[in-house]
Amino acid sequence: MKTPPLASLRLQPLRRRAMAKSIVIALDGPAASGKGTLAQLIADHYGFAYLDTGSLYRGVAYLLLREGEDPKDRLAAERAARDFSLDKIAGADIRSREVGAAASVVAAQPAVRDALLDFQRGFANRPPGEKKGAVLDGRDIGTVVCPHASVKFFVIASPEIRARRRFLELKDAKPGLKEADVLADLMERDARDAGRTDAPMLQAKDAELLDTTHLTIEAAFAAARRVIDGVLRRCED
């Protein structure tokens, strides 16, 4: 059975069902480090459900901007997070620089994080589509959302490589885009994400550091698989 599209999931904790504990794979790291691509490949390979938790923060930010609200307005941001459901952003362009910047502003607000927490934990513990595991990527998955995850990665890459990757991703939709501006955005967002008080971006003590600066996506995926296969083997023993 295929995982239902994210857009069809609402932000209540997902339906409870009796099952063995799910296998949770957490990937955290700075913007554009390659964790999203890696997370999707891991989920496809092992047949696990995938949640891009950044899409929740981006979604809340997108809706605020669309309504002409200020992402720094704590009450408006909390309201938007509490009312949020993924179908509200179905088909919306949440990958833009503007939405990314606003996402990291709303993500620094504890009430917003709190509103989005149950859904993320529910997804991890009871993955949709009867999957036996879940892959979540974000900033605080290994530290706050799923501190007991079976496998944790902290995915990094040099700022220049990350800016290059994000520039290539965005440039077709934004012809005048400059790579230097993308780099500046990433640095500003990383500083805000790492410097906030609530759930800052942080490598969990038990997370594997995966530096993708000089790795192709295939090589990064192979390295991640070696770690995951080792853990899965130990679980089966």
Instruction: Single out the segment in contact with ligand CDP by CB under 6 A; choices: 15-23, 68-76, 97-105, 216-224.
Output: 97-105
Instruction: Single out the segment in contact with ligand CDP by CB under 6 A; choices: 14-22, 30-38, 76-84, 171-179.
Output: 30-38
Q: Are 161 and 213 in contact (CB under 8 A)?
A: yes
Q: Find the binder of ligand CDP among 54, 59, 128, 142 (CB under 6 A).
A: 54
Rule CB under 6 A: say whether 58 interacts with ligand CDP.
yes
Please, what's the b/e burial string for 129-146 (b: 16 or more CB within 10 A of its CB; e: otherwise)? eebebbbbbbbbbbbbbb
Q: Find the binder of ligand CDP among 193, 204, 208, 228 (CB under 6 A).
A: 193
Rule CB under 6 A: say whether 159 interacts with ligand CDP.
no
Q: Could you tell me the smallest distance in angstroms from the CB atom of residue 79 to ligand CDP? A: 18
Q: Measured at the alpha carbon of residue 184, what is the angle toward residues 171 and 163, in degrees to the nearest 5?
A: 45
Q: Are 24 and 134 in contact (CB under 8 A)?
A: yes
Tokens of 156: 């990094």
Distance between CA atoms of residues 213 and 115, nearest Å = 34
Rule CB under 6 A: say whether 14 interacts with ligand CDP.
no
Distance between CA atoms of residues 89 and 225, nearest Å = 32
Which phi and psi (to 5°) does residue 209 adopt?
A: -85, 125
Q: Could you tell me the smallest distance in angstroms from the CB atom of residue 197 to ligand CDP? A: 12
Size of the site for ligand CDP (CB under 6 A): 17
Q: Find the binder of ligand CDP among 9, 23, 24, 32 (CB under 6 A).
A: 32
Q: Find the binder of ligand CDP among 39, 189, 204, 224 (CB under 6 A).
A: 189
Distance between CA atoms of residues 215 and 37, nearest Å = 13
Rule CB under 6 A: say whether 123 interacts with ligand CDP.
no
Distance between CA atoms of residues 85 and 153, nearest Å = 27
- Chain positions contacting ligand CDP, by CB under 6 A: 31-32, 36, 53-54, 57-58, 100, 103-104, 107, 138-141, 189, 193
